[in-house]
Chains A and B, each alone.
Chain A
């Protein structure tokens, strides 16, 4: 199956909250707010719609192409699946929360009050999509603000939209290149920073930053090991020579 992606067209979103309700129902999440527009992401809410000025913006896991959470988890509790969804396996998790610390979009949420806490976030309705269905939120969206399909097609569609109506769209697809690309692509009528998006994210995937440090380990261990042992041998040898010299001198003196 091809890699999937969401295309979220902010110009089309009317803030009805259908995606929010559908997500709650699909994932058996309890009600947390009467007004979908007033809620925030939590361990019981995987997606939200926020009003930013005149526009409505959805927020949820971006399912990065090179996910930071997948790279930082010491026990591999996160997986980037073949369809592009980033999913979580609670049976592996040890609760270090490095995923939360590292996520550039501040998405993972934690069950702080639980004695068996889990990391919670959108999983792109993995089971539904695997069987060829749409994620619950995309299916529920009445205006076409949330579209879902193959990532390539979604990118092509976004580019086409910008090309056809350049006055309607700000000329940037958010998520195409940010942190190496994500599976949630946004189109906006105004510059993204005006809607509260983090526009300072690098185009390189964040795991590269730690990979560089980690890749030095084998060299460090081998070269370091050899150097230390060598140094030990040298200083020890020097000591032994000193010892010999010392005792021979003592002997000489004794003879004198």
Chain B
């Protein structure tokens, strides 16, 4: 135990950085809850949603999308070979949602009233839907992750119950995620006159949904690369590499749809304007979609650890830019004030990212996240086609 603590306390560069960010973050939270939002943010009546909504919420939820995507692949499509990477992915999603709620508590003007959505209903509101999805899906994620904790503490009976309801949980999780990812886009449907036409579209919910699946896959790659480096866990690289192929499919569909949408709404001319918005639009599309799709479609790059990782980073970068474009850039064009996040807003965002990394680290060290699951459900039987049997028989 002593050596454990010693190891934890041994200062390294990243530990020092993390500690500094956490202290600054706590200080900012103190300022926020003693001086109000005005004390720490650059938000104003003309720009009521800033970096915290754009990054901490929109990006946070999107990057948690790997959880439901992989669950669908493993449990619904029954491609069991991906099982070894499901736990870290669910952990990411669960942590992501917890941090989103945490960020929300800082951003909301009256955080103590957050539970009001449970009893005060307005089903006409997309935000109402968002609130319910966050509550329900966080619960589902907790249950999906709970076997890891239960295994650690050997609570066999509870474990049995949870395993019994795995499939209903997974189905519920996929439905809630679909609703939630798309509803974040639907939030913006109400502002057709305020948003820049490059980003406003009645298809925004679908764009949010597809790009979330894309970035969810990218996060799987991103994390397994870093985990492999940090914990010397040799995560099945072939599996992760195949996730790279999914990205090609998802992001190509996304790209086609977005351009079709511009074409059908007579907005193609906007692509060639000399404006800040057009520049950012192209940046988002090139970084987040075109470059990674080209990279990943080359087998040599996809089967290369670094190549795969870099491609995933592009997807994530483009995704972050997209969400910030929707939530900040597109609204900037029609408002009279200009918004740039304050230092404190940036600190809180860094603080939340750091918390995520630290908690993930601790969970991996103390919980059986990467350990082979001891589930009794047989998973060894791959789907064999008749062809397979013939070749088997021929041998």
Question: Do they bind each other?
Answer: yes
A209 proximity list for chain B (CB < 8 A)? 189-190, 192, 202
Name the one of A74, A92, A114, A229 contacting B36, with C-beta atoms under 8 angstroms. A114
Interface members, chain A 80-123 (any B CB < 8 Å)? 92-98, 100-102, 104, 106, 108-117
B129 CB-CB contact with A under 8 Å: yes
Nearest B residue to A236, CB-CB: B78
Of the four ranges (under 10, 10 to 19, 20 to 34, 35 or more), the interface on chain A belongs to 35 or more
B114 CB-CB contact with A under 8 Å: yes
Interface members, chain B 215-233 (any A CB < 8 Å)? none
Of the candidate stretches B2-10, B172-180, B280-288, B350-358, the one touching chain A is B172-180
Of the candidate stretches B16-24, B43-51, B251-259, the one touching chain A is B43-51
Nearest B residue to A98, CB-CB: B127
A213 proximity list for chain B (CB < 8 A)? 126, 182-183, 186, 189, 205
B268 CB-CB contact with A under 8 Å: no
B383 proximity list for chain A (CB < 8 A)? 235, 238-239, 242
CA distance A46 to B175 in the complex (A): 43
CA distance A127 to B124 in the complex (A): 27
B154 proximity list for chain A (CB < 8 A)? none
B48 proximity list for chain A (CB < 8 A)? 97, 100-101, 110
Name the one of B37, B109, B131 contacting A93, with C-beta atoms under 8 angstroms. B109
A157 CB-CB contact with B under 8 Å: no
B121 proximity list for chain A (CB < 8 A)? 75-76
Nearest A residue to B127, CB-CB: A74
CA distance A131 to B66 in the complex (A): 57
Would you call B190 and A206 a contact (CB within 8 A)? yes
CA distance A209 to B122 in the complex (A): 16
Task: Assess A239 versus B381: contact at CB under 8 Å? Given A42-B45, A213-B205, A228-B76.
Answer: yes
Would you call B126 and A97 a contact (CB within 8 A)? no
Would you call B179 and A217 a contact (CB within 8 A)? yes
CA distance A68 to B190 in the complex (A): 8
What 10 A-B pairs are tightest by C-beta distance, nearest first? Answer: A95-B109, A235-B78, A112-B38, A74-B127, A100-B48, A95-B110, A75-B120, A113-B38, A94-B113, A74-B128
